[in-house]
């Protein structure tokens, strides 16, 4: 029996927490260059699709992204990311077949209510793997948020920092050890398709239906 893929809800202006993992939990980043190439591909795909990357975190066998899509074309962007990175990885390591578990898992988020919680979760992800200094973890966007390194041209930090009240307030938020509602859901393995109120979920599905019918 074929298991259907999760519904993709897309519309202009949507925000997503995107997660993807290596097939069978295998590593998808084996050295520094792999991570550099992935970020270069992410930059290319976001710029080509007019999408905005607001946060990222690359771990050994998975990655997290916070993405805003003014054009409502997340699937186009992530197709480019998956295609180009899988091709690079398989060519380099002489492998064949699927690199990641699925295409990707997109969680549509209500940015008014959950943007900061999701951004915090992404930047705190290394703590689950024994990283003590979040600011010192090079393969996330957190250091750029704190001004410890220059943000890449394609990384958007201003919006989240404005919503949080500035760099110091954002740092306090991320460094807080008190779990948020989002942390509890994610850590329990309950990744929702839509992260928002019932009204937001209903409106998102209806809007996506209208967009799909018009395309």
Mean pLDDT along residues 106-117: 93
CATH code, domain carrying 122: 3.30.70.1290
- CA distance linking residue 42 with residue 38, whole number of Å: 6
User: Residue 55 phi/psi, 5° resolution?
Assistant: -165, 155
Q: Taking 80 as the threshold, does the pLDDT of residue 137 lie above it?
A: yes
Domain assignment present for residue 5? The answer is no
Strand arrangement, sheet containing 105-109? 52-58, 62-69, 14-21, 105-109, 194-195
Cβ atoms < 10 Å from Cβ of 166: 11
The overall pTM is greater than 0.85: yes
pLDDT tens readout for residues 160-182: 999 999 999 999 999 988 777 78
- CA distance linking residue 55 with residue 63, whole number of Å: 11
Q: Are 17 and 186 in contact (CB under 8 A)?
A: no
β-strand 194-195 against 52-58: which pairing, if any? unpaired
Domain assignment present for residue 60? The answer is yes
Residue 24 domain boundaries: 14-205
Domain assignment present for residue 3? The answer is no
Domain assignment present for residue 123? The answer is yes
Specify the DSSP element, H or E, that contains 15.
Answer: strand 14-21
Specify the DSSP element, H or E, that contains 71.
Answer: none
Binning the chain into helix, strand and coil, the percentages to the nearest 5 are 50, 15, 35
How remote is the C-alpha of 165 from its chain's centroid?
22
Domain assignment present for residue 54? The answer is yes
Q: What's the confidence (pLDDT) of residue 213?
A: 55
In the chain, the number of structural domains is 1
pLDDT tens readout for residues 71-107: 999 999 999 999 999 999 999 999 887 788 777 899 9
Domain assignment present for residue 189? The answer is yes
Q: Which of 68, 58, 71 is nearest to 19 (CA)?
A: 58
Q: Taking 50 as the threshold, does the pLDDT of residue 136 lie above it?
A: yes
100 SS3 class:
strand
Q: Which of 83, 85, 99, 79 is nearest to 33 (CA)?
A: 85
Q: What's the confidence (pLDDT) of residue 95?
A: 86
Q: Are 42 and 65 in contact (CB under 8 A)?
A: yes
Number of C-alpha atoms within 13 angstroms, CB side, residue 61? 9
pLDDT tens readout for residues 15-57: 999 999 888 779 999 999 999 999 999 999 999 999 999 999 9
- CA distance linking residue 206 with residue 212, whole number of Å: 10
Domain assignment present for residue 90? The answer is yes
Q: Taking 80 as the threshold, does the pLDDT of residue 212 lie above it?
A: no
Domain assignment present for residue 9? The answer is no
């Amino acid at each position: 029996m074929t298991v259907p893929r999760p519904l993709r809800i897309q519309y202009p202006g949507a925000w997503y927490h995107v997660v993807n993992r290596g097939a069978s939990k295998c590593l998808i980043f084996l050295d520094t260059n792999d991570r550099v190439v992935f970020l270069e591909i992410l930059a290319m795909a976001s710029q080509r699709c007019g999408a905005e990357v607001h946060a990222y975190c690359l771990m050994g066998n998975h990655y997290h992204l916070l993405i805003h899509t003014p054009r409502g074309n997340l699937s186009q962007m992530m197709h480019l990311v998956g295609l180009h990175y899988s091709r690079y990885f398989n060519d380099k390591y002489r492998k064949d077949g699927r690199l990641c578990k699925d295409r990707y898992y997109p969680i549509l988020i209500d940015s008014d209510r959950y943007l900061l919680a999701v951004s915090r979760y992404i930047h705190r992800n290394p703590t689950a793997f024994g990283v003590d200094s979040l600011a010192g973890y090079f393969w996330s966007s957190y250091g750029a948020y704190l001004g410890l390194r220059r943000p890449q041209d394609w990384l958007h930090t201003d919006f989240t920092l404005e919503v949080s009240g500035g760099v110091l307030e954002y740092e306090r938020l991320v460094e807080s050890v008190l779990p948020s509602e989002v942390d509890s859901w994610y850590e329990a393995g309950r990744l929702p398709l839509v992260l928002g109120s019932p009204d937001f979920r209903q409106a998102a599905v209806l809007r996506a239906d209208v967009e799909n019918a018009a395309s």
